[in-house]
């Protein structure tokens, strides 16, 4: 299926080569940077300061997680995966690996596509056999996502924004869904603090688009402050689900 978010016949115009000997790309230049939300300078400053502080403060947790993953599950410590980011740009996201090395992802990818196409509630599989025991703790506490502070430092992500989407999920998007790419993807966001695993796909998209429209320093701080209570609530729910309560 063609990716509606990258329809160049609508959003692009040709680039003329310069007369000088300098080389230029033959690829069309996208109009999306002109049409997207203008990002205020304070957002990038906040991201850099926040990511640096996070890497320093959570460094003991980083070291402990690396040691436990190496001990409990053979394979690489980090998991890297292509995601769709700001203005539809692909990038490699970093996470602590929570699944067995070379785990089959076909069932998960089909679940994601079904959720997008049928507007289902977005939930994680609690008893997923691909996840090793410590990996479940990493996921329920969101510790597995801490390496994304590296993505924030590189400018591929922000501290706050829509979650970076998987490319095969984007292929199933409707045109209006693509407005979520008008702001950089984030480690946390409006969706995460508003029910995350109890919302439908459409509700998530609406939260993402609303965030882009309400972008402000105050909103950013509010989302960051409400993220920790949201993570604690998610961890409690995950424990209850695993116990079958």
Confidence (pLDDT) at 47: 98
Residue 29 bridge partners (DSSP):
13
Residue-range definition of the domain harbouring residue 51:
38-243
The verdict on residue 139 lying in a domain is yes
Q: Which residues pair with 96 in a beta bridge?
A: 78
* pTM, full prediction: 0.83
Residue 112 belongs to some domain of the structure: yes
Task: Tell me if 65 is assigned to some domain.
Answer: yes
- The total number of structural domains in the chain stands at 1
Burial class (CB in 10 A: 0-12, 13-18, 19+), 97: buried
Q: Is residue 215 part of a domain?
A: yes
User: Quick one: pLDDT at residue 111?
Assistant: 86
Residue 129's pLDDT is what? 82
Supply the DSSP string of 87-101, one letter for each residue.
Answer: GG-EEEEEEE--B-T
Residue 91 lies in a domain: yes
Asked whether residue 147 is domain-assigned, the answer is yes
Q: Is residue 118 part of a domain?
A: yes
Residue 11 within any structural domain of the chain: no
Q: How far apart are CA 94 and CA 122, in angstroms?
A: 22
Q: State residue 126's pLDDT score.
A: 58
pLDDT tens for each residue of the chain, 245 residues long? 455 675 443 333 333 333 444 433 343 344 455 556 679 999 999 999 999 999 999 999 999 999 999 999 999 999 999 999 999 999 999 999 999 988 877 777 888 888 899 888 887 765 678 899 899 899 989 999 999 999 999 999 999 999 999 999 999 999 999 999 999 999 999 999 998 878 999 999 999 999 999 999 999 999 999 999 999 988 888 777 666 65
Dihedral sign (CA 236, 77, 164, 213): positive
């Amino acid at each position: 299926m063609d990716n509606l978010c990258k329809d160049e016949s609508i959003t692009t115009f040709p680039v003329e080569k310069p007369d000088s000997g300098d080389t230029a790309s033959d690829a069309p230049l996208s109009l999306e940077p002109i049409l997207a939300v203008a990002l205020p300078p304070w957002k990038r400053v906040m991201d850099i300061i926040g990511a640096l502080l996070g890497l320093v403060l959570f460094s003991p947790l980083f070291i402990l997680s690396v040691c436990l993953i190496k001990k409990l599950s053979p394979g690489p410590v980090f998991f890297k995966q292509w995601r769709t980011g700001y203005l539809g740009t692909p990038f490699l996201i970093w996470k602590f690996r929570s699944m067995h090395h070379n785990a089959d992802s076909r069932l998960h990818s089909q679940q994601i596509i079904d959720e997008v196409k049928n507007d289902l509630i977005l939930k994680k599989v609690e008893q997923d056999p691909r996840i090793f025991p410590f990996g479940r703790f990493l996921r329920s506490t969101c510790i597995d996502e801490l390496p994304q502070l590296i993505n924030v430092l590189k400018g591929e992500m922000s501290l706050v924004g829509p979650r970076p989407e998987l490319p095969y999920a984007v292929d199933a998007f409707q045109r209006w869904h693509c407005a979520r790419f008008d702001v950089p993807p984030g480690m946390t966001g409006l969706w995460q603090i508003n029910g995350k695993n109890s919302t439908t796909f459409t509700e998530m998209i609406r939260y993402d688009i609303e965030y882009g429209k309400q972008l402000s320093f105050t909103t950013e701080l509010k989302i960051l402050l409400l993220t920790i209570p949201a993570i604690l609530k998610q961890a409690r729910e995950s424990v209850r689900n695993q116990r079958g309560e």
